Each structure stands twice: as structure tokens, then as C-alpha cells.
Structure 1
Amino acid sequence: MARTASCCLRRNYGRAFGDLGTLGDLGLDGEINLLLRRGWPADLVVSHSPDASAGKDWVGAAQVFRKYTSFRVLLALIFGILAMRKASCLVGCLAMSAFAFTRDASAMTPAGAVIHNSAAVSFDMDGASHTVQSNTVETRVAELVSYAVSVVTPTVGGARVGEVLTYTLDITNTGNGDECFVVSQQPNANVAEPVELVAVHVDSDGDGTFNATKDAVIAAGSCGPQIATNRRMRFFALGRMPADTGESQAEFALNVAPHDSGPGYGSVLPGSGDAGADKVIGYDAGASAARMWAQTSKLVVSLVKSQLVSGRAQTTAVTGDVITYSLLFKAGGEGLVKGAVVSDPLPADLGYMPGTLILDGVALSDSSDADAGHSADGLVAVRLPDQVAPFEHTITFQAVVRPQSS
């Protein structure tokens, strides 16, 4: 069994750790070629940092190795060993792989944890057995700041000038310490009139949908709630559509970063991590960007109301006067108008005159039936067909000024 375990370590683990240890001495091309020749998956090779500095190199290697230990790669490793190794070395290798390679981000050692380790030597002297203990060494686990941003709402369509749009994004803490994040506007020189960040809310009730009364707002430039390691939290970013509608779309570019986002990728901040541990910055600017878009609407809709009092264009009336109301509904530009309903709730001092409802010169009934008109309980309403702009419709009806006693 000892020979089997030794064989397994020598053939597999030693090779994997040897690959990682060699990376710091190679350039980018050399790193990629080495990993590919040794059989590392291509999608993991490209995740290794191209930065050649020592601090960044070991962080990138750690990220590669952490991904390499996923369950999917474990299966590929096991079946590869089945195909290439003899049965004498297989059993121990399979068991050790199942133990060592099933660890993932959820099993990461917490930041600030202190690992105690000591050794002992046993020997025989003068016919007696003796044991001597070594001193105990301590290792404090550094805090790795690492996270992923997922855009749930990449595009919002039909946006109008000045309209406030709601975008959804998820932030996952992939590091080993609790972190809070700041969501801010990211300036973009390529967009003359970007969508303006108005407010950021956190999904306080956890239902996944935005509710302004339930989901707490985060003050501008402030950190959101702490996100535990291997946990995801949903945020809602509200952006205002710009006034310039010359382009077909506008960009909403956000920056997501921890509260101490100043240091660059691979930086080590002594003593600033959880429980006094060092903090290692394990993310880059590309991972913290969230780019979303708003498709501009060129549809312009208006509704204008006018009146004639007893056939005259005036604004005064007496009891018993008949007022003829006209509603002009217009849609210009480009776009489809669906499900439009024009409604006019009459005040208590007016009484609708039955049989006076007209749409584009065609009389409509007052009851709820097959035609588009309806009038009941002081509400006059007309349903309009789905239609592509430009178009216009005119609705007219009459009401009488009630006496005070009515």
C-alpha cells in the first residue's frame, strides 16, 4: 500500500505541483506551452495570469489549481489514470485522488485561520523506545480577495429619454473571507451619452426581483452588505436614459470592486485581512466591470384633450351645459404600440351622456361587448388595436354639467 501511494504521488501530484512551481520562471508563451504539454485543460490554462511578477504569478497559479480541482476535472483525471496506469498503482491513486481533488471553494480554509504543525521522531536507544517532539510552527492563512460579477439583465429595450431603467447583477464571493463591494459608474470615453447611474439597491428580501420599498438602497460610494465566502448576492442598479437619442443604444457601464479596491492584482497587504492576516488581491479590473445596454426607443406617444362647451371653445360652463370632449392619441417615430387603452374618469360634477362615444367617426356602444368602447360608473374607456407607428386616433364623447343637488 505504501508503494502504491508513493507511486501515485510521484506520477501525478508531483507532476501537478511541479507544473505550478515552474510557472514563475517562464514567460507567458512558455507557461501556456508547458501546461498544454502536461495535459492541463485549455480553458484553465488561459485563466492563469500573464503578469510575470512574483506576487501575481503565485496568485494566478493558485486560481488555476483551485479550478483544476473541480469535480468535472476529477472525473477526467480518474479515467485518464485508468487508461494510462497499471492496476498495481491504480487503486491507491484512485483513492487519493478522490480525497484530495474533491475540495473546492466551499472547502477553502477561512482567512485568518492559524494552522499549527509539529513533528516527532521515534527511536530506540539502550534497549528503550524514545520520542522527541519538535517545536510547533504556525501558519496564518492569508485572505484571498476574489469574486465574480454576473450580469442578469444585459439589455433593456424600448428605453425612452429620461426613463429610469432597472438592471440586475449578481456578485459571488469566490475568496476565503467576508467581503463587501462598491458598485459605481464606470466612465467610458467611447460613449458620449451613457446611461447615468441613479441608485443601487440590494435584494434585501431575497426574492430576486426589484421592489423599491423592500430592497434597501446603498448610498453612493458606500459598501453593500458583507458577502460570505462562496455566497452570491443580488443587486439592482437603476440607470437614467440620456437625453441624446441620436444612437440606437446607450451603454450602462458599472465598476464592481471591494471597498479597498486601490491595490492592483497580486498585491499583498500585510495585516489588513480577516483576523489580522495578510490580504492578497486576487482579481483584476476586467473581472470587476459590468457592461449593460439600453436599446433606445424612437417611438413618441402623446395624448391631447380638448373641449367645446355647448359648441363653443370656452372654459366656463353652467349647470346643464353639454361639454364635448375630444381625445387625440398620436404615435410617431418607429415602433409597435400594443394593448393601448385610453380611459377618462369623469369627476362627480359631470354625467356621461349615453350613446355619444365615437372613435374615428364611428359610434361605439357603452356596454362591454365586441367593440372597443365602454362606459360605466363615470369611466369612459376605449381599447385601441395593436399598431405600428406613425398613426393617430380621435375619440369624442359628451358629458353634462350636473346641478349640485344631483
Structure 2
Amino acid sequence: MPFSNYILILITTVFISIGVNCKCSQSFITICDTFEDFKNHDDSDTLSEVMIGSEYGTGTMTSVDFMEQLKLSSYHKLSTLMIVHAINKLEVRRYGYQCRYTGSPLQFFILHGNIFKTIEPHHFPLLRLKKLSLAGNNIEQVKSGALKNHEIENLDLSHNFLEVVESESLPLQDSLIILSIRNNNLTHIEHGSLSPSLQSLNLDHNKLRYIENEVLENLLSLKELTLSHNNFNVIPKISHLKKLVVFDISYNAISTLKEDTFKNMDDLKLVDFSNNRISSASVLEWINTPGKQPSLTVSLALNRLRDLILDNVSLQNQALALYGNPWDCNTWPQLKMKLAGHESECDSKFLSNGNMPYCINFRAALYPLSRLDEGDVDRFHDTFRKSERTAGCVLAPKKYEWLYPIHKGCVV
């Protein structure tokens, strides 16, 4: 469950438990209807976790100047601040006050359901934060320099409307470890926009067709790169990312791979090419991992594979997710024997229940000019995807075990 959803569920529980209408209510968390109520709260010294606004979006939304209205230097124990459905515009009246909050104990700054289409320099005070979540705030642009000097470990810009990541718009400090820009409209990332300290980069559910080589060239500490649900038809240059543990480019339009892409990646535990358009029987030769990992999962599920060439491939310590491919029924029994002991958990489930077809009859020998009908493959894929939801075929829990302590707690 995404962290923002968890917080909203917590807030709902709090509202139900207190069952009253007042300016600032105290329960598991202090809830203030407005910024004025927060500023006028009687006991600022004891506040530790605060929400401003209304979970249900029924409160009044106002324009906000964080420098003037938060006065964070007055709150000596405030560690978590959530602002929900309370802002319709960010303003800045005075400049040069960002450094006044560097001593604040605030660690988690979460904004959700607000409306501020643009983030500019001086909109946010300089804070040392474990997490800044700006997910779901209708953001269309983060201007160059807006967050460049902010010391943040985890920045979440998901569920907005960003189309471009501008150069030097995001934190470039060594503190940034996790960056998530999921579910936006990204088509381009400018060179000089990503911090070299990044260990986890999530860009899934966007409109990316390519990433220029210069964008990723300095991310030598990167352990997770998620590019799923985009429009890639070729893999970005990642062969220099030797510390990668998880590479996910599922749900794209990849049909071919460059050889030696993963040759030097000794720490790899997951390569996910599922739901692409790969049809070459030589695909495992292209992946060509070093074989030094204690275990490696390679997912080629729901592609267009009819056969696999395994002559020059070592499957030692590897698990393969291959379900949902339209295997040739003439070669599948022999291939199944060669793959025995290397099936993924999902493949084992599908193979053991006997309810799912694992191959498609296709008499190309009799009709050499004929082709496997794409509509048949699509229907074949749809059948597997429906069963996938009920079979518990999810890599995410293991993925976050592998990436611990980068990702702590339940992150999906």
C-alpha cells in the first residue's frame, strides 16, 4: 500500500474516533482545520504529528506562503506534518528565509490533494527531511532550482502531471537516496536533473520512449531502476550501473536486447522484461548475466516467445518466469524438461494446476507463409493476466526484501 494511502486511512480512523468538529483536535495526531488554527494552537511545544486540512476535501483551500505561515522554528518536537486538501496556490512574499528552518526536527513532510501546478525556488523552506511527499497535488512543473539545495532522503512526486524533469530542479545533495516520479506524463528527463547519490529511481507509469545516456551516466550507486509501464522499445544504456539489484522494464515495447547489458552486474537479483514484445529464442544469451549472484530471477513472462535456445546459457542459481508465452506445442515438452528446477514460483503454480494452456498449436511447417495471429497471442495473454491476479504472482514483496535497507517497511 502506498504510504500516502496509509496516511489517509490513518486520518480517517482518527476522524471517526474523535467524532467532533473543532479547530485543532487531539487524538493519535493533532488535526487543524486551517493554517491559522495551526499557528494559534495553544501548546506548540508538545506538537509532534500534525495534519492541516480535511481528508475529505470539504475544508477551505487557500494560497500559502510556507515561510510566513508555518513558522517551523517555533515547534521543537514537530516530526510529521501533513497538509491535505488545504492549498490551492503556493506563494512567496519574501526571499532569503529558507535557512531559518535548518534546525527544525521535522522529518516527514507530506502534502496530498492540494493544487499547486508549479513549484518555484523559495516555495519550500530548506529542511533536512527523511521524506518529502508531494504525491497527488496536480503539479505540472518543478522549475530549475526549486528543490536543488534541499536535503531530502526520499522524494515522492508521483501521481501528478509532470511532463519534463528540468535540469537542477530536484535535490542534488548527497542525501537523496530514493526518487519516485510514478504516474505522471513524463516524456523527457534533462541532463543534470538526477543526484549521483540515488540508490532507487522509480519512473514507472509515464510516457517515456527513451532516456539519454548522459542522464544515467553518474548514477553509479543505483540499486533499483524501475521503468515499467512506459513506451520504451529499446533499453537505455545501463551497462555501467554495476550495483543494480533490481531492473524492471516490464510493460513496454521491447523486442530486442543488446548483448552484455548485464555482464558486470554481480549483485542483480531481478531482471523483469515481462509484458514486452520479445520473440527471439536467443534472449537468454543476450541477457548474459555474470552468474556470481547467489540467486537471480529473470522474468520474460507474457512476451511472444515460441522457443528458447539454451545451448550456451548457464541457468545455475537462476529462476525463470516464462508463463504466458505462446510456446510451440511441438517443442514445449522438451524445453520444459530442460528448464526443470529453474521455474519461478508463478510458473510452478501454473504448471501444477493444469488449468492454463502453456503452448499454442501452430502448423508453420504445413503453411510456411502463415504467421501466428497477433489476436490469438493477445487473447492468450489476457487469459494469463486474469489468472495472474488470483495466483499471487507478485515480485514486489521479495523485491523490497532484496533492497532493504533502502526501502524500509511495507512499500508496494
TM-score normalized with structure 2 length: 0.23
* Structure showing greater Rg: 1
Q: Which has the higher contact order (CA 8 A, sep 6+)?
A: 1
